[in-house]
Amino acid sequence: MVGVFVLIVESRKMTDQTRWGIDLVITKNKAIKRQKDIVTRSLAEVDKLEEQYIVELMMEIEAIYERKYGEKKAKGVVL
C-alpha cells in the first residue's frame, strides 16, 4: 500500500516554487494578464461608442503608437 502512494506522489511533478527566477515568471504572467484585462475592459467600452467617436479613438491610438514606438515601426503596422 505504501508503494502505491509513493508512485502517485512521484508521478505529480510540480514546479519548485523556490527556484531562482520563478518570482520573475509570476510577475511577468501577472503583467500580461493585467494588459489583457485592460484590453477586454476597453473593448467593452468601445462597443458602446458611436461611429464618429470610434474613428476619433482610432486616430488617437495611432498617434499614441507612433509616439511610443516611433514612426518607422508604425509604418508597417495596420491599425
20 falls in which pLDDT band (50, 70, 90)?
Answer: confident
| pLDDT for res 3 | 43
Cα–chain-centroid distance for residue 46?
19
So where are the chain's domains? Answer: 20-75
Quick check: 13 pLDDT over 90?
no
Say which residues have a Cβ less than 8 Å from residue 54's Cβ, sequence separation at least 6: 46
Among residues of the chain, what percentage have pLDDT more than 90?
Answer: 48
Report the distance separating Cα 41 and Cα 47, nearest Å. 10
- The reply to whether the predicted model has a pTM over 0.85 is no
Report the distance separating Cα 41 and Cα 30, nearest Å. 16
C-alpha distances in Å from residue 48, one per residue of 1, 20, 41, 42: 62, 45, 12, 10
Quick check: 73 pLDDT over 70?
no
| Better pLDDT: 55 or 78 | 55
Which residue type is seen at 45?
E
